[in-house]
């Protein structure tokens, strides 16, 4: 069916939401094509997209279709699964609360219990709620760190982990079997209404208690470190301020960014990966002579860090803040005799090398996963069951980490508490966080990690993304900026190769990722974003000094820009 035919089908359907019908009446031909040329993809990460009318948008009808598919999947697992039900959380974005309670009604119409938070909550607390209430699954309405125009829909299994591909495929099959999203009803009887249970305070307190339990040095001197904190208008405001306050830390909130504003009115961007997320916090830090800034993204699964370096505040990458957490946690576990036998840490194929080097220095093995914290959650569950290895940390380069696995997703409140503790611990020794990071560089090597991307929106953009990735496979890079590629990995074809030939790449599910290892110890990886219309390029560049690594990165970036043009 063409975009125009889909548009007409929606316009003439009696169940079309009136607000969406009004929006459609104002669309021009290009907007109609973008909104209806395809169905919004329900993939292994759920759905994420621009809010609005259309089959290729996030709206009440596409959310209902996804929820009905999930409901059919749950009911296919028997009456006990329906009775255990689904925990539902949501963030501050436009329509998040409406989508959450509408999803609960669709579940109730299909005989499924739900536990819906009374107001916005962090993604990690939703993961915790699935486990705490012994649910069969979870739904989180969020677009994470995306711009305000976006919203999304993430699904969780009974362990509080985002659905891994095998489970996601079963749900996707059910979602795709729903032929008419406009016919999915959220009308329920008074008896079905009883299946919707609103949760809040009790779940909060249990989650806060577990977060506080991760402390390694709860009695560390805290009155010498000032912490500026921003939730970027999102879900971390109450949890992080409560937890840090209860534990005795000096927290200075960025008040203008503490209200749950769906337009993110007082921040240029809610994404901790971008400098704009820190603009107002930096002013607060300067006015209060703060030592560190902690910033969470809207659904509180990612934490960004700014810390003093030679007296000036400087933003850390997710690789750097992750490496700092690794150094502090592993050092303290070792010093206290609490490092378990056969310790293992997880990170992804696009995460930088420094953290892995630090882990090895403490005798901790690192296992790689694909991008997406669900794969780390899957690893946690595996070793929890067979006891072959003991989890001690997991993280991604995109500012997400998990310290204690009572949650099975990235957990910024945990990261904020541990980073605050580390800052106080090191300040008592006369060190800043940057001093510690520089010590790690001196010991393990100088790495410069960064990322570039090309945004390619719409139908033409999707085609260009495929063209770029296919081109890189057909014309594989043998050198980059004059430096030889000594090994490559293709996670889609499940192959890797070097001068000795091509072999099978094992241990990963199929994913559209390419990675090139260079003769100088650097690597570069390319993948389409799973949440935005972008191709991302990741760089982990090794040099003899920090300055040399940055200079090399500039050269590689220029080459890759031409490759992606």
| pLDDT for res 532 | 79
Residue 32: which H helix or E strand, with range? Answer: helix 29-36
Q: What is the pLDDT of residue 45?
A: 77
Please measure the distance between the N-terminal and C-terminal CA atoms of the chain and give it in whole angstroms. Answer: 32
* Nearest residue to 391 via CA among 452, 449, 483, 329: 329
Q: If you search the block for the tokens 């690597």, which residue do you land on? A: 523
Assess contact for 411 and 126: CB atoms under 8 A: no
In the DSSP assignment, the letter for residue 401 is: E
| Mean pLDDT of the region 355-381 | 97
Whole-number average pLDDT of the chain: 96
The catalytic site residues sit at 144
| DSSP-based three-state secondary structure for 345 | strand
Q: CB–CB of 339/392 below 8 Å?
A: yes
In this predicted structure, what is the pLDDT of residue 531? 75
Q: Per the structure block, which two tokens stand in for 207?
A: 């989650």
- What integer is the mean pLDDT of 358-368? 98
Mean local confidence (pLDDT), 366-392: 96
pLDDT computed for residue 533 by the predictor = 86
> For position 57, what pLDDT does the model report?
98
List Cβ<8 Å contacts ≥24 apart for 347-350.
Answer: 347/322, 347/376, 347/394, 347/395, 347/396, 347/397, 348/372, 348/375, 348/376, 348/396, 348/397, 349/489, 349/491, 349/508, 349/513, 349/515, 349/525, 350/396, 350/397, 350/513, 350/515, 350/525, 350/527, 350/538
Q: What percent of the chain has pLDDT over 70?
A: 100
**CATH of region 224-444:** 3.40.120.10
pTM: 0.95
- What's the confidence (pLDDT) of residue 564? 85
Q: Tell me which fold the domain 3-207 belongs to.
A: Alpha-D-Glucose-1,6-Bisphosphate; Chain A, domain 3 (3.40.120)
pLDDT at 252: 98
Closest CA to 87 of 142, 153, 137: 137
Cα 174 to the center of its chain, rounded Å: 25
Nearest to 371 by CA among 387, 337, 394: 394
Tens-digit pLDDT profile for residues 190-216: 999 999 999 999 999 999 999 999 999
* CB within 8 Å of 227: residues ≥ 6 apart: 244, 249, 250, 251, 252, 290, 291, 292, 293, 294, 420, 423
446-564 to CATH, choices 3.30.310.50, 3.30.160.270, 1.10.150.300, 3.40.50.1220: 3.30.310.50
- More confident call, 184 vs 458: 184
How is the chain split into domains, by residue range?
A: 3-207, 224-444, 446-564
- 102 pLDDT band, cuts 50/70/90, is very high
Cα–Cα distance measured from residue 339 to residue 365, given in angstroms and rounded to the nearest whole number: 12
Query: What confidence tier does 44 reach under pLDDT thresholds 50, 70, 90?
Result: confident
Whether the CB-CB separation of 123 and 296 falls below 8 Å is answered with no
Q: pLDDT tens digit string along 434-455?
A: 999 999 999 999 999 999 999 9
At 246-277, the pLDDT tens digits run 999 999 999 999 999 999 999 999 999 999 99
Q: Which residues, in sequence order, are CB contacts of 455 under 8 Å at separation 6+?
A: 461, 532, 533, 534
Sign of CA dihedral 143, 180, 109, 190: positive
Same fold, 3-207 and 224-444: yes
Contacts of residue 209, Cβ cutoff 8 Å, sequence gap at least 6: none
pLDDT band at 458 (very low <50, low <70, confident <90, very high): confident
Interval 107-158: pLDDT, tens: 999 999 999 999 999 999 999 999 999 999 999 999 999 999 999 999 999 9
pLDDT at 457 over 90: no
Sign of CA dihedral 63, 68, 74, 76: negative
Under a CB-based contact definition with an 8 Å cutoff, are residues 296 and 355 in contact?
no
- pLDDT value at position 186? 96
């Amino acid at each position: 069916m063409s975009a125009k035919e889909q548009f007409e089908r929606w316009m003439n359907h009696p169940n079309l939401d009136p607000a969406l019908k009004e929006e459609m009446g104002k669309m021009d031909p290009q907007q109609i094509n973008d909104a209806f040329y395809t169905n919004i993809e329900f993939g292994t990460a759920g759905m994420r997209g621009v809010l609005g009318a259309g089959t290729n948008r996030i709206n009440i009808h596409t959310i209902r279709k996804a929820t009905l598919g999930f409901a059919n999947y749950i009911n296919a697992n028997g009456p006990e699964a329906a009775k255990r039900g689904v925990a539902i959380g949501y963030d501050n974005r436009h329509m998040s609360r409406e989508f959450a309670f509408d999803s609960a009604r669709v579940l109730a119409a299909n005989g499924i219990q739900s536990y819906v938070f009374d107001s916005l909550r962090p993604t990690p607390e939703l993961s915790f709620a699935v486990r705490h209430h012994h649910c069969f699954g979870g739904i989180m309405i969020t677009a994470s760190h995306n711009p305000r125009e976006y919203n999304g829909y993430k699904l969780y299994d009974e362990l509080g982990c985002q659905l891994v591909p095998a489970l996601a495929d079963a749900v996707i099959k059910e979602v795709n079997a729903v032929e008419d999203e406009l016919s999915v009803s959220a009308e329920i009887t008074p008896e079905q209404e009883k299946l919707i249970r609103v949760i809040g305070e009790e779940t909060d307190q249990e989650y806060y208690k577990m977060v506080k339990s991760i402390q390694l040095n709860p009695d560390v001197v805290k009155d010498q470190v000032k912490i500026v904190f921003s939730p970027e208008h999102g879900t971390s405001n109450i949890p992080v301020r409560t937890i840090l306050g209860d534990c005795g830390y000096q927290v200075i909130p960025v008040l203008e960014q503490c209200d749950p504003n769906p337009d993110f009115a007082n921040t240029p961007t809610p994404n901790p990966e971008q400098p704009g997320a820190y603009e107002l916090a930096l002013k607060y830090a300067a006015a209060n002579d703060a030592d560190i800034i902690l910033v969470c993204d809207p659904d509180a699964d990612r934490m960004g860090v700014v810390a003093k370096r030679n007296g000036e505040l400087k933003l850390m990458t997710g690789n750097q803040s992750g490496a700092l957490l690794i150094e502090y946690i592993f050092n303290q576990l070792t010093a206290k005799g609490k490092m378990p036998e056969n310790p293992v840490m997880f990170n992804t194929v696009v995460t930088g090398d420094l953290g892995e080097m630090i882990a090895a220095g403490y005798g901790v093995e690192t296992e790689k996963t694909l991008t997406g914290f669900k794969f780390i959650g899957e690893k946690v569950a595996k070793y929890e069951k067979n006891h072959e290895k003991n989890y001690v940390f997991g993280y991604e380069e995109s500012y997400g980490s998990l310290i204690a696995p009572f949650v099975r997703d990235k957990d910024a409140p945990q990261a904020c508490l541990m980073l605050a503790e580390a800052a106080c611990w090191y300040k008592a020794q006369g060190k800043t966080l940057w001093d510690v990071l520089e010590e790690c560089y001196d010991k393990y090597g100088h790495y410069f990690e960064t990322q570039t991307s090309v945004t390619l929106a719409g139908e033409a953009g999707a085609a260009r993304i495929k063209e770029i990735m296919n081109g890189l496979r057909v014309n594989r890079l043998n050198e980059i900026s004059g430096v030889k590629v000594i090994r490559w990995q293709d996670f889609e074809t499940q192959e890797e190769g070097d001068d000795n030939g091509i072999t099978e790449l094992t241990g990963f599910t199929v994913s559209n990722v390419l990675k090139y290892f260079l003769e100088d110890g650097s690597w570069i990886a390319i993948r389409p974003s799973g949440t935005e219309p972008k191709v991302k390029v990741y760089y982990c560049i090794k040099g003899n000094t920090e300055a040399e690594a940055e200079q090399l990165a500039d050269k590689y970036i220029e080459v890759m820009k031409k490759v992606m043009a």
